[in-house]
Amino acid sequence: MTPEAAVEAFLHHLTVERGSATNTLRSYAADLRRYLEHLRARGVDRLEAVAEGDVAAFVTALRSGPTPLAASSAARALAAVRGLHRFAVRDGLLAEDVAREVAPPAVPLRLPRALSIDEVEQLLAGCIGDGPAPLRDRALLELLYSTGARISEAVGIDLDDLDAEHRTVLLRGKGGKQRIVPVGRPALRAVDEYLVRARPGLAARGRGGPALLLNARGGRLSRQSAWHVLRSAAEASGVAGSHAVSPHTLRHCFATHLLAGGADVRTVQELLGHASVSTTQLYTHVTVDTLREVYAASHPRALG
């Protein structure tokens, strides 16, 4: 089979059988086009003729040349290639998975940007006004910081997912996984004010769907709109470095402030919905300064 035919079959498999998201399909297609160009340049015209060295050379080529890719982008491209070869072996197109042992480039550790508690308060205060939009925006931001939810999880909350009596909310995370997390009283107050004073008017403009957070037309608030809410609040608040505030900023703050306050990593892992504790440990860097201060004040040899 030609590499082109294998890629076409693989993308069809992702679309029809796996139901992969549009963005995922677009990324895989772009990365695999690069791979096909690489194989053509090396004179490889049959999938069976691809060797481990060809795959390794592809990774090297991505990281070199006039416009080298970042390590994370090269690692993503290799993941697409690995998926292609794994699919080909499972479907009996290949006898051996030559991409399995090719190591991705090391991705440098990127520490998340976290605001201080005072900066978060300043950010939350950026939602000013009594209209439907400001009340909804305040509820959104309070929920993000109170629960550590991803923006996609926050906009996915339905009315029945919020349990005000027990102060919890059901979040639907990656891969369809669900988790129940606590909600703080300030967030519940913001949500209650939105439900009483804003949502009924917004819902009347649409079909009265189950979504907690509605847009101006009465439909579910989108991820993109929620991202703009966060960016607008950051700019209005005057928080230093507001241009760097991202969709994950309040999630980062949730994790780092919990850890700095004494929460253990395993608990924060559960609250964030991380599959691996190693992902959660990225946030522990923020507590290092605090630990250093405690060490300097408490250990008899700290200043020696």
Mean pLDDT of the chain: 86
Asked, for residue 236, whether it belongs to a domain, the answer is: yes
Q: Are residues 284 and 135 in the same domain?
A: yes
Q: Are residues 223 and 135 in the same domain?
A: yes
At 12-46, the pLDDT tens digits run: 998 887 777 788 888 999 999 999 999 999 999 99
Residue among 197, 198, 202, 229 at smallest CA distance from 218? 202
Asked, for residue 111, whether it belongs to a domain, the answer is: no
Q: Are residues 72 and 209 in the same domain?
A: no
At CA 173, angle to CA 172 and CA 174, rounded to 5? Answer: 140
Report pLDDT for 32. Answer: 95
pLDDT over 70 at 109, yes or no = no
Residue 94 or 18, more confident: 94
| Residue 149: count of CB within 10 angstroms of its CB | 28
At 252-280, the pLDDT tens digits run: 888 888 888 888 888 888 888 877 766 66
Asked, for residue 297, whether it belongs to a domain, the answer is: no
Please give the tally of structural domains in the chain.
2
CA distances from 225 to 45, 155, 208, 212, 230 (A): 46, 10, 19, 14, 9
Asked, for residue 185, whether it belongs to a domain, the answer is: yes
DSSP string, the chain: --HHHHHHHHHHHHHHTS---HHHHHHHHHHHHHHHHHHHHTT--SGGG--HHHHHHHHHHHHSSSSPPPHHHHHHHHHHHHHHHHHHHHTTS-SS-TTTTPPPPPPPP-PPP---HHHHHHHHTT---SSHHHHHHHHHHHHHHHH---HHHHHT-BGGGEETTTTEEEEE-GGG-EEEEE--HHHHHHHHHHHHHTHHHHHTTTT--SBSSB-TTSSBPPHHHHHHHHHHHHHHHT-TTGGG--TTHHHHHHHHHHHHTT--HHHHHHHHT-SSHHHHGGGGGGGHHHHHHHHHHH-TTTT-
Q: Which of 21, 55, 90 is the last residue of a domain?
A: 90
Report pLDDT for 246. Answer: 79
Q: Are residues 149 and 86 in the same domain?
A: no
Asked, for residue 159, whether it belongs to a domain, the answer is: yes
Asked, for residue 208, whether it belongs to a domain, the answer is: yes
Q: Are residues 158 and 266 in the same domain?
A: yes
Asked, for residue 198, whether it belongs to a domain, the answer is: yes
Q: Which of 75, 90, 105 is the last residue of a domain?
A: 90
Q: Are residues 231 and 279 in the same domain?
A: yes
CA atoms in the 13 A half-sphere facing the CB of 236: 17
Asked, for residue 96, whether it belongs to a domain, the answer is: no
Token pair belonging to 65:
């040349």
pLDDT over 60 at 304, yes or no = no
Q: Are residues 128 and 65 in the same domain?
A: no
40 lies in which domain range?
3-90
Report pLDDT for 110. Answer: 62
Residue 47 or 293, more confident: 47
Report pLDDT for 11. Answer: 92
Instruction: Kindly report the CATH number assigned to the domain that includes residue 160.
Output: 1.10.443.10
Instruction: Kindly report the CATH number assigned to the domain that includes residue 51.
Output: 1.10.150.130
Q: Are residues 270 and 155 in the same domain?
A: yes
At 235-256, the pLDDT tens digits run: 888 887 766 787 788 888 888 8
Q: Are residues 187 and 281 in the same domain?
A: yes
Q: Are residues 65 and 199 in the same domain?
A: no
Return all residues near 208 (Cβ < 8 A) that are at least 6 apart.
Answer: 218
Q: Are residues 276 and 144 in the same domain?
A: yes
Catalytic residues: 150, 174, 248, 251, 274, 283
Q: Are residues 71 and 202 in the same domain?
A: no
**pTM beyond 0.75, yes or no:** no
Percent of the chain past pLDDT 70, that is, above it, reads 87
Q: Which of 50, 73, 90 is the last residue of a domain?
A: 90
